[in-house]
Structure 1
């Protein structure tokens, strides 16, 4: 998986609900099974992004804390 292509989406500095809204809009342009890496500084993203993935049927493959925020790796539903 480390060599797999992914879309990198930097949403640092945006506050709820913008990280989820922008991620949803960006994912609509991706093909099934695509990977997107989302970086955010919004503290509520640790709740909102997993909830969004669950609701829309995407797989949250990774959620890790980084300096000042979090990084999420999401696989678009097939």
Structure 2
């Protein structure tokens, strides 16, 4: 698992950093995004749906995404 710290950054930066990080991990691995922008709670799951990645969980300001392809 890799962690991307986007705390203090506003939309769309957390999603942009997630998009750049996903290709760097193996299929099946998780990228954790730390983001305190309230929009991340909607933006990250929406990005996962659009890009066919698996939104695993949200826990406070941590969002886990599993690479599908």
TM-score (norm 1): 0.82
Q: Distance in 2 between matches of 1:13 and 1:28?
A: 24
Q: Distance in 1 between matches of 2:56 and 2:11?
A: 21
**4+ residue runs of structure 1 moved beyond 2 angstroms?**
none
Contact kept, 8 Å, 2:3 with 2:32, in 1: the verdict is yes
| Alignment gaps of 5+ in structure 2 | none
| Alignment gaps of 5+ in structure 1 | 1-5
TM-score (norm 2): 0.91
> RMSD value over aligned CA atoms?
1.0
The structure whose residues are more often helix, as a share, is: 2
1:40 pairs with 2:35: yes
Count of aligned residue pairs for this structure pair? 69
Select the structure of larger CA radius of gyration.
Answer: 1
